[in-house]
């Protein structure tokens, strides 16, 4: 007999949501007052605010500041059950999913499983580069950068010192741009005070982009300004440049040139997380699941996908919607309304994306903003970026903590969160 997940069966429809990211969280909250049983599962017991991963990686914020316990979010929501579980397989015939906790039946299944790093089949890059798609990976990046500085203190070879100090970021989207700017500001304001024995003129920061500009998808003005801001901060921006390989010591480009570094950060692409058990024909470009205008997965009448994993194509978005938080949130809102319509046998309404604009910060007082009707850059764009991200954080306490950290950093040109946190196992492996 199959082991069942220990959730009581009720005499009402059960909606199972897989994933507690922007899409899954919004959908569960939007169904708060409906007469359904909601089961939310996630491999973590907290929601992660992905746009600020880079600040954890560069010691600007602690992980707890951008994470919020899912159980606390739903303390007052009586129609929701939460379990820490990992999706293993979907059985669409039996209307159930197999998890590492057991079998979970559903009337409606919503996949909000997001996306992971795409290495485009390069095993060396997957093995040696540092991704940044989770809080844990952001902490690993922080540890790697700080560990290299500590090693550089005891290195007499100039070439090896430069290798330890150099940082290469691959991917000129918002993540790569914001991270490059943050590391450049660390180099300028903070690291010389922490490591006075090191010559930071030997530290070089490179941002590599395969296309002809950074912030592809932004306005031409914002793209040019973003590149200019990075160069003002001392970042070497290389466009029309493709990475061919990385062995942990040297980055090799398609044109044969190389850069010596121990730290390569990979922010060059994402692919949808795998949902085993579904028809392979519904998996589209980038591992995303093909859905119709109602976020219903093609060929399935009671399985939906929202957020980064969903591939909805139309005349305006022939390659699918951008994989950003606003799309995930708006799809969740529309699906919640359609779930209510399903319960009343009403006609469903198709999803229509309202693009509220794009923001990216490069450094202190430096940001770009593309709003629906105009674009602007500089200080006011930076203030808008701060406000929007602060208000988007889940939890009042987290907002206060982040605001205090940002204010302290702004007025002191410093931050006190550069902690090298390693496990005993890691310490033993690196100690002679």
Q: Are 227 and 237 in contact (CB under 8 A)?
A: yes
Which tokens sit at 376?
């602007």
* Cβ-based burial of 54 (10 A; exposed 0-12, middle 13-18, buried ≥19): buried
How far is the C-alpha of 179 from the C-alpha of 56, rounded, in Å?
10
Q: 335 to each of 1, 178, 329, 382, how far by Cα in Å?
A: 34, 32, 10, 33
CA dihedral 230, 233, 236, 238 (to 10 degrees): 10
**Residues labelled catalytic:** 178
Task: Specify the residue for token string 């957020």.
Answer: 307
C-beta of residue 181 within 8 angstroms of C-beta of residue 229:
yes
Q: Which of 322, 23, 361 is nearest to 175 (CA)?
A: 361
Q: Which residues 6+ apart lie within 8 Å of 99 measured at CB? A: 5, 41, 83, 85, 86, 87, 88
Provide the pairing of β-strand 87-91 with 366-370: unpaired
Q: What is the DSSP letter of 380?
A: H
Q: How far apart are CA 151 and CA 132, in angstroms?
A: 23
Overall size of the chain counted in residues: 432
Q: What is the CA radius of gyration of the chain?
A: 23
The SS3 of residue 355 is coil
Q: What is the DSSP string of 48-114?
A: E-GGGHHHHHTTSS-GGGGEEEHHHHTTT-TTEEEEE--EEEEETTTTEEEETTEEEE-SEEEE---
Q: Smallest Cα–Cα separation from 214: which of 234, 231, 193?
A: 231
Look up tokens 């991704």; give the residue: 131
């Amino acid at each position: 007999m199959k082991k069942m997940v220990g959730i009581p069966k009720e005499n009402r429809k059960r909606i199972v949501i897989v994933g507690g990211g922007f899409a899954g969280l919004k959908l569960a909250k939007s169904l708060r007052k409906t007469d359904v049983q909601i089961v939310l599962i996630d491999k973590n017991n907290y929601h992660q605010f992905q746009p600020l991963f880079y600040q954890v990686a560069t010691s600007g914020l602690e992980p707890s500041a951008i994470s919020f316990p899912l159980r606390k979010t739903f303390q007052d929501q009586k129609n929701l059950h939460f379990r820490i579980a990992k999706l293993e397989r979907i059985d669409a015939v039996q209307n159930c999913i197999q998890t590492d906790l057991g079998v979970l039946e559903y009337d409606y299944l919503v996949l909000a499983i997001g996306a992971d790093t795409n290495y485009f089949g390069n095993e060396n890059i997957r093995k040696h580069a540092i991704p940044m798609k989770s809080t844990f990976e952001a902490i690993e990046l922080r540890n790697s950068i700080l560990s290299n500085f500590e090693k550089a203190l005891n290195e007499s070879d100039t070439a090896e010192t430069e290798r330890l100090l150099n940082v290469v970021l691959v991917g000129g989207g918002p993540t790569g741009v914001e991270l490059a700017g943050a590391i450049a500001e660390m180099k300028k304001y903070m690291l010389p005070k922490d490591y006075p024995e090191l010559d930071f003129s030997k530290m070089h920061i490179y941002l590599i982009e395969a296309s002809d500009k950074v912030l592809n998808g932004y306005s031409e003005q914002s793209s040019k300004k973003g590149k200019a801001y990075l160069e003002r901060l001392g970042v070497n921006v290389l466009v029309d440049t493709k990475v061919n390989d990385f062995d942990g010591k040297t980055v090799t480009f398609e044109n044969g040139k190389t850069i010596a570094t121990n730290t390569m950060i990979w922010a060059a692409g994402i692919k949808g997380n795998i949902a085993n058990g579904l028809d392979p024909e519904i998996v589209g470009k980038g591992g995303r699941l093909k859905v119709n205008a109602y976020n219903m997965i093609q060929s399935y009448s009671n399985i939906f996908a929202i957020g980064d994993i969903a591939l909805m194509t139309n005349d305006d978005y022939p390659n699918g919607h951008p994989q950003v938080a606003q799309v995930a949130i708006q799809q969740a809102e529309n699906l919640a309304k359609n779930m209510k319509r399903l319960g009343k046998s009403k006609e469903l309404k198709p999803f229509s994306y309202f693009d509220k604009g794009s923001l990216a910060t490069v450094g202190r007082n430096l940001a770009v903003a593309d709003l629906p009707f105009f674009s602007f850059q500089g200080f006011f764009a930076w203030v808008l970026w701060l406000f929007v991200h602060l208000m988007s954080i889940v939890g009042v306490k987290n907002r206060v903590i982040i605001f205090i950290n940002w204010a302290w950093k702004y007025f002191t040109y410093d931050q006190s969160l550069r902690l090298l946190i390693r496990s005993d196992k890691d310490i033993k492996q690196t100690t002679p």
